Amino acid sequence: MKKSTLKTEWDLTLLYKSISDPQIDADVQAIEKACADFSKKYSKNNTYTTDKILLLKALKDYEKTLTIVGSSKPYSYPALMRDVDSTNTKAQSKMNQVLNEVTKSMNNMVFFPLALGKIDVSMQKSVNADSKFEKYSYFLNSLWKKAKYQLSEDVEKVLALKSMPAHQMWVDTQAKLLSLQTIPYKKKQITLSMASVLIPELPKQERVALHKLVRAKLKEISFLAEAELNAIVADKKISDELRGLTKPYSATILEFQNDEKTIESLVKAVTNNFPIAHRYLKLRAKVLGYKKLHPTDMGVPIGKIKSKFTYEKSVAIIRKTLSKISPQYEQIFNDFVTDGRIDVYPRKGKRDGGYCWSGYNIPTYILLNWSDAVRSITTLGHEMGHAIHGEMSKTQPILYKSHTTSVAEVASTLFENFIFDEVIKELPEKEKIIAIFERLSDSVNTIFPQVALFNFENELHNTINTTGSMSAKDMAILMNKHMSAYTGSICEFEEDDGYKFVRWNHIRYFFYTVSYAYGQLISTALYNKHKQDPTYIEKINQFMKAGESDTPENIFKAIGIDTTKPEFFVDALKSIEQDITELEKLVAKKKK
């Protein structure tokens, strides 16, 4: 591809002409009208819950309405503008306006899935046996499964209204407190987030000293995290008990659309195989030349990769990779780099990090902050996995065009593996071992500490639910207990290291990180199957097109990945262990 054909900034005119384009308001008004029309027709007349003919008609009308209501276009445009220019106050204002108006309108649609959930069992069986409802079968059965735990419409509204003061406002206050904290470093004050960026790059003595200042600050302000976590866990307990959910993680797994036994098998398999992580960390200590690992050693690079990957060079590598795997993937990628759907380089006011923005009836966009490092090209590979997954899911009907949280990271980590295979060929021998080590480090960190955190959360919730509260000191002790379980004796934690919980944001959103481990292990299995048989790409395509049309278990079972069998996760972990064995051989060879 010629360099001149590459666009490195978003072309948002694919959405609207400008922030003042009258079409934005016209599209919002269309959403408002569609919601109002549907509500007027069905909110006061629920005969469709007892009559199959009327139910089928209502479902068709709902699907038709969703093709208008489901468009994220009017919100996406100002949101994307803001993300590349935080000073754009017009975009921020427009985004807030659109979000408020659309949310208010969509609240008028809430009655419908709640009403469907109350359809009696005899009619459910009749509907499931009727071929005319085949298209809506998974949608309806998902609602009926969740309906067991739903309350009356009035109570659901109360729970929704109290979620802000009982949960989100606590979390936001804690985040604000953290953002205001500074610690001394080289005669100036730096934020905690800045310290986190600096620590892995510093010599050991300096990083340990800075780490101690960070943890001392976290301990100092842990009084709010103590109150916050006790409050939001207690609030969750109230909601769970009202719904009849008996385990702290049940609500999350229900939202993921997973089978609870599958996630429990995953957690058990990883926990029982923490020695794999111990073995990796011992190898890390050996390569770094340490007898023991300090917590700050966990993210320290084992060496420096000097090879540069410009955006133009990386585009060529990714095109070459995808062309060998699937011409369809290559074409999708070409459209992204030539149509202005990747914003590549960092600039003042642009949001940090990277993400993929996908939605119904809009082009998919990718945000990057390119640095020419290996991490830049693997990040692009990761986000292209999300993007291709999103694009291929659009072949599904409107009800199934998305995909669940637990499935979301499968495609992204799979594509990282595909791209890395080509990247490693570009590196000189002395840098290959560094890249392989860091790649394995990513895999280990995506699986083991995330499950350790799940175990921490589970014990935290059970303890607070039983005793009524926990002190910050006890939370810190609990954090160290579960982090030590996954690291083993090679890593030495001091008591105050446990105050890491104060700023680990994921625990505020309850058991979310288990989805990372789930996605990593499944993508590893998919990658290995493709490596053994390139024609397996047809099965991968089947998954990529599935969207949200079935449970994650059934989607993967259909392509030969049976996650309902506990041994699946054990076998997937063996693949990680084999990678460690190969790396041990490389390290031994290098030392000779």
Decide if 417 is inside a domain: no
Same-domain status, 346 and 441 = no
Same-domain status, 265 and 362 = no
Decide if 247 is inside a domain: no
Output the CA–CA distances (angstroms, integers) from residue 471 to 224, 467, 476, 477, 499, in the order listed.
Answer: 11, 11, 9, 10, 11
Task: State the amino acid at position 197 in one-letter form.
Answer: V
Q: What is the mean pLDDT of residues 185-210?
A: 90
Decide if 88 is inside a domain: yes
Decide if 554 is inside a domain: yes
Please report, for the domain that includes residue 466, its CATH number: 1.10.1370.20
Average pLDDT, the chain: 93
Q: What's the pLDDT band for 110 if we cut at 50, 70, 90?
A: confident
Measure the CA–CA gap between 340 and 367, rounded to whole angstroms.
11
Domain-ending residue, one of 107, 134, 149: 149
pLDDT at 3: 45
Q: What are the pLDDT digits (tens) for 336-376? A: 999 999 999 998 888 888 899 998 889 999 999 999 999 99
Q: What's the pLDDT band for 151 if we cut at 50, 70, 90?
A: confident
Q: Which two tokens stand for residue 84?
A: 């590349």
Domain-ending residue, one of 119, 149, 179: 149
Burial 211-234 (b: 16+ CB within 10 A, else e): beebbebbbebbebbbebbbbbbe
Q: What is the mean pLDDT of residues 381-396?
A: 94
Same-domain status, 484 and 377 = no
Decide if 2 is inside a domain: no
Number of domains in the chain: 3
Percentage of residues in the chain with pLDDT exceeding 90?
80
Please report, for the domain that includes residue 85, its CATH number: 1.20.140
What is the domain range of residue 358?
308-399
Q: How many helices (H) and strands (E) does the chain have?
A: 25, 5
Decide if 59 is inside a domain: yes
Decide if 568 is inside a domain: yes
Domain-ending residue, one of 95, 129, 149: 149
Same-domain status, 332 and 480 = no
Same-domain status, 379 and 502 = no
Same-domain status, 434 and 570 = yes
Decide if 114 is inside a domain: yes
pLDDT at 481: 97
Same-domain status, 452 and 500 = yes
Predicted TM-score (pTM) of the model is 0.89
Task: State the amino acid at position 279 in one-letter form.
Answer: R
Same-domain status, 474 and 524 = yes
Reported for 315-320, long-range contacts at CB under 8 A and 24+ positions apart, including other chains, are 315/1, 315/6, 316/1, 317/377, 317/419, 317/422, 317/423, 317/426, 318/377, 318/380, 318/381, 318/384, 318/419, 318/422, 319/1, 320/422
Q: What is the mean pLDDT of residues 495-516?
A: 93
Same-domain status, 370 and 453 = no
Q: Could you give the strand order of the β-sheet that contains 342-343, starting from the edge strand earlier in sequence?
A: 342-343, 365-367, 355-357
538 pLDDT exceeds 50? Answer: yes
Same-domain status, 280 and 315 = no
Same-domain status, 267 and 326 = no
Same-domain status, 280 and 317 = no
